[in-house]
Structure 1
């Protein structure tokens, strides 16, 4: 059994040695809460399941590859139905809000939260908050029923709309309290989950019986701890169309070059996985892997070499790659978008122009370059089959967690199993591609591109990571063998 709980973050040390990063529960700050039998026990859909309740001691290990003598590491609470719930279905008044940029799968999650609450728990009062966080205090809402959301998973975007910024914690919680809302489902990325944590803290400070649940949404797949976020599989699949078009254009022209810019401000997961899936890419550039243009071993030398070898090439570049090379651009310095993120110059246009300028100076080699930016086409499409299933599981896990009285958590898969992760871990920083791991080595092997890194830098980083693994017993690799 579990013991030794700390006061704020519910870190629990088990007798067997592992650490449970538990999530808050309504009973932590509201005493003598009434419980109710889980309605699933009378649900005919679940009658065929041998054991549909999750054991209270079930946990999911964050790391499945450990050294022989290392500690057992961090675990998270497994998601799923609980034998007792802390809400009477007739008293539940839930709301759903989507924040930040668009990505495939938003409508599927909205649909499955509504249908999960309705069909699994008999909850009939669900409100959609329109226009992101400002919708809470601008009174923009819409009632959501299974009939209203029945076909929305076939559309891209979010039927509730979305926005950046506009977060006023006190006003939002005032609106939640005034409306009698007691379950809040928040779909968003890294910044949205940070703001969701602020809402939870204010709810807890006021002693309100309100479950605050985050659902990870970011097309860049840069949310830490979890295996992936919604929309990522669809984004990688749709990116193939742009890469294939670039390859056809490049292959059909003498010295043809196709340049494709993909999403990824700080993390290059889409670019990396799309490149590996395509097998038509000759060079992949991501924010985690610096590169340089001029001189021996530079990108321009590699482009010239590849054109001489095969007569064409395809370059995939993530939007955040090479930004240190553009930092002197006076038109972009100190500018921010509505989300308070730094505005990045279009690295794809910049790179395309640099390549053109390089070959114009040489004169002996004419090139035919085509630049493709499919960003908004990818963000706006409906989710594919893989993401639809994933969104369904996330939504149902979120509903189970809220009904069981858990709060202040993000739901997500860790090593293939959905679990409840406390907000503070989700908000510790973006997940990045580790360029000293095997997955990046597989990409280099596929594209045959140089790493553009100094071998001494690689050795130093590898030694540092080895020390970290030895001291904390964690394996920081993003991918398995």
Structure 2
């Protein structure tokens, strides 16, 4: 049962509706309908927890326009002072005719629409604003990296430091050592443009990383104790869930601290964004392993090269590497089930391809075929990810055993696992540019007072995306999509859909 309250405020000609459950509420809804001429089509709706923290900001307009906005410090701290953006006097930006982003600029989530389609969901466009909510001399920023390694981590670190320093004149930036637990169990390191000048040429992260160790209260206590007012968190979906918890606790305490996330996953399994940094480098480096497997396979009679690539839940690296290589005969990913025995199974396809070509290359993502692996594993790592069986090694043994039993043809199989080699290399040119723009967008957003957001590329434009959209699900290959069909056409493999 709910109780509704309606209040009309004549001074602003606005109508406020509050929906409050009679007993213990999980959510609190607010609707503002503006009747002034310039805002007559605009409606702002927010949904927040009863403690005022878990907020979703929606701006609705005509023709089904919806802006999924990100929080701002002024949402919960009144009378915040603003300052002119230092970029107005920055020599590097003086040649740009329009270098400030208009407050009404948004980016559409989906650009393919029908003539009668609503305008759909939008995100706030990233970039510098005319006013900033931090005086550069007062900024004390920190950067932390969490989760697994990924090409481009050091580039993001470098560009946050350099962006804050050269664009806004911020001089105090610290790095948190070894992930979230470093906030309260490790020392910090001072970061300056000089100390980070060459780090983009190295793999890994100069700050160190770890999984787990997330004690939100201790982390925010440390942020308060160190008088940090900008927090930049680089990591995957688990890390961004932690970043969201940190933002909520900061907001609950009413602290003037901006929290910005930079989404990182080499598997490209973060939703909404076009791709994650490090993905292009991973696909490019995977070509080396596939090429080696192809050389091995073609150098012997009935040779099979088996390559295991990263992809715990999503097969994007395997799919794109297969499309780029054109030497792959079969690609197996978690999203597309397959079976081994019988008509139409993998064994039959391997035998067919060996008879036709005399060799074969198979690419398998690490999360593929886990339902076929005999031993199930229910253990999880510190980030909550399920520990997987080594499907590549298991698959190589099963293929060898099958053909040894059949005694129809002798095969030579070479198994290659380049997983940690791929994620430990420096970013290529494409990912270096992308990482730079992501970092600069995060800096612009934090200086403009936005918080509780990640910077990400949506339809080729940099945007600010609420944490909840990044952490609500995982991005997966859609096997009914054209890209998967293109991959199947490239390899000429069957779909391996079991008739039973």
1-structure distance, mates of 2:398, 2:228: 55
CA contact (8 A) 1:319 1:348 kept: yes
Following superposition of structure 1 onto structure 2, how do residues 321-470 of structure 1 map, counting pairs within 5 Å? 321-326=368-373, 328-329=374-375, 333-453=377-497
Following superposition of structure 1 onto structure 2, how do residues 96-135 of structure 1 map, counting pairs within 5 Å? 96-135=143-182
Question: Which residue does 2:334 correspond to in 1?
Answer: 287
Deviation, 1:340, is 2.5
Q: Which deviations, in whole Å up to 9, do the C-alpha atoms of 1:41-97 show, x marking residues without a partner?
A: 000000000100000000000000012222111000000000100000000000000
Deviation, 1:16, is 4.6
CA shift in 2, pair 1:50/1:91, >3 Å: same
2-structure distance, mates of 1:304, 1:364: 9
Deviation, 1:138, is 1.1
2-structure distance, mates of 1:455, 1:390: 44
Question: Which residue does 1:12 correspond to in 2?
Answer: 59
1-structure distance, mates of 2:186, 2:297: 51
Question: Which residue does 2:35 correspond to in 1?
Answer: none
Q: Which deviations, in whole Å up to 9, do the C-alpha atoms of 1:391-420 show, x marking residues without a partner?
A: 000000000000000000011000010100
Question: Which residue does 1:28 correspond to in 2?
Answer: 75
2-structure distance, mates of 1:84, 1:381: 39
Counterpart check, 1:261 vs 2:305: no
TM-score, length of structure 1 as denominator length = 0.93
- Higher mean alpha-carbon deviation, 29-38 vs 339-348, is at 339-348
Following superposition of structure 1 onto structure 2, how do residues 199-210 of structure 1 map, counting pairs within 5 Å? 199-210=246-257
Deviation, 1:455, is 8.3
Greater RCO, CA 8 A, separation 6+ = 1
Report the structure, 1 or 2, having the larger strand content: 2
Counterpart check, 1:172 vs 2:212: no
Structure 2 unaligned segments of length 5 or more: list them. Answer: 1-38, 48-54
CA contact (8 A) 1:131 1:140 kept: no
Following superposition of structure 1 onto structure 2, how do residues 82-101 of structure 1 map, counting pairs within 5 Å? 82-101=129-148
Deviation, 1:341, is 1.5
2-structure distance, mates of 1:210, 1:63: 32
Structure 1's consecutive aligned runs of 4 or more residues displaced over 4 angstroms after TM superposition are none
CA shift in 2, pair 1:357/1:455, >3 Å: closer
Q: Which deviations, in whole Å up to 9, do the C-alpha atoms of 1:194-224 show, x marking residues without a partner?
A: 1100000000000000000010110000000
2-structure distance, mates of 1:33, 1:3: 24
2-structure distance, mates of 1:273, 1:124: 41
TM-score, length of structure 2 as denominator length = 0.89
2-structure distance, mates of 1:340, 1:404: 34
Deviation, 1:339, is 2.2
Greater Rg over alpha carbons, structure = 2
